[in-house]
Amino acid sequence: MLLARVEGNVTATRKHPSFEGWRLLLCQPIGRDGTPEGVPQVAIDSYGAGMHQRVLISSDGAAARKAVGDELSPVRWLVAGIVDEVTPGTTDLEDSVG
């Protein structure tokens, strides 16, 4: 799992049928201090994350395929939660997910 910031929505005129009904977000992985780390990822979102919100994204492709209900889906990333606060000094980001 990675801490990320929502940088935008992805709009596609054609997409895999398994993405129907799902919001696609462009998520930039970030460090605790908010600086970008790595390349942006496209993730499905069922939580309704807003622009510039911090989220926890997971690269568990099996869980993402199960969420969309299609074992052959090309989906890989999913928003696992919206982060309310990252507590300084903790090593487990999951403790801070709201």
Domain 2-85 has CATH 3.40.50.11740: no
Please give the chain's pLDDT, 98 residues, in tens.
999 999 999 999 999 999 999 999 999 999 988 999 999 999 999 999 999 999 999 999 999 999 999 999 999 999 999 999 877 665 555 555 54
The pLDDT score that the predictor gives to residue 92 is 56
Q: How many CB atoms lie within 10 A of CB 7?
A: 13
The pLDDT score that the predictor gives to residue 90 is 59
The pLDDT score that the predictor gives to residue 86 is 75
SS3 58: strand
Q: How many CB atoms lie within 10 A of CB 87?
A: 9
Closest by CA position to 44, among listed 6, 78, 2: 78
List the chain domain ranges: 2-85
The pLDDT score that the predictor gives to residue 96 is 52
